[in-house]
Amino acid sequence: MTDTRNRFTRAELEHFRAIIQEMREGFLQDLAALNESVHSPSGGGVADHSQGVGASFVERSFGAVAQEQNAAMISRQTKILRALDGALNRIDQGEYGYCVLCGELIDKERLQIVPHTQQCMGCKVGRTPGSARVTHHQPA
Ligand SMILES: [Zn+2]
């Protein structure tokens, strides 16, 4: 009987760690840029020449909307960043890649795309834990 070892190899874990760290860098850069645009008084600050005289109410409120969107993006990205940090922690502790709901190892393909996820596809779509592994390939 071939051992179905339900864990990632060290090489695989290092592979995921590299993906996560790269994503993390990207998010940190995005966040820095977003923070800058939110905190700059002109709200975007690229076209400053029209400031003062030409800035209509519409233009100013458009800037406010943009700032709000940026703020929403910041909180979303901060959340993902925290999740990425958590994933790095789990790699260190050898707990990475397991579904928090059913305890099964999450598909590698899924982790390549969302390396910080803590739910397998079966649980994500709301299938009852356990039944997920019986048929992975359903007739289309
Ligand atoms: Zn699961």
CA 121 / ligand 1 centre spacing (Å): 7
**What are the tens digits of pLDDT across the range 26-39?**
999 999 998 888 77
CA 100 / ligand 1 centre spacing (Å): 7
CA 114 / ligand 1 centre spacing (Å): 15
Write down the pLDDT at residue 45: 47
Confidence of residue 125 (pLDDT cuts 50, 70, 90): very high
Contacts 24+ apart (CB under 8 A), 78-85: 78/31, 80/27, 80/116, 81/24, 81/27, 81/28, 81/31, 83/116, 84/20, 84/23, 84/24, 84/27, 84/115, 84/116, 85/24
pTM, full prediction: 0.70
Residue 54 pLDDT > 50, yes or no? yes
Write down the pLDDT at residue 50: 47
**What are the tens digits of pLDDT across the range 57-78?**
777 777 888 888 989 999 999 9
Q: Where are the domains of the chain?
A: 1-96, 98-140
CA 135 / ligand 1 centre spacing (Å): 14
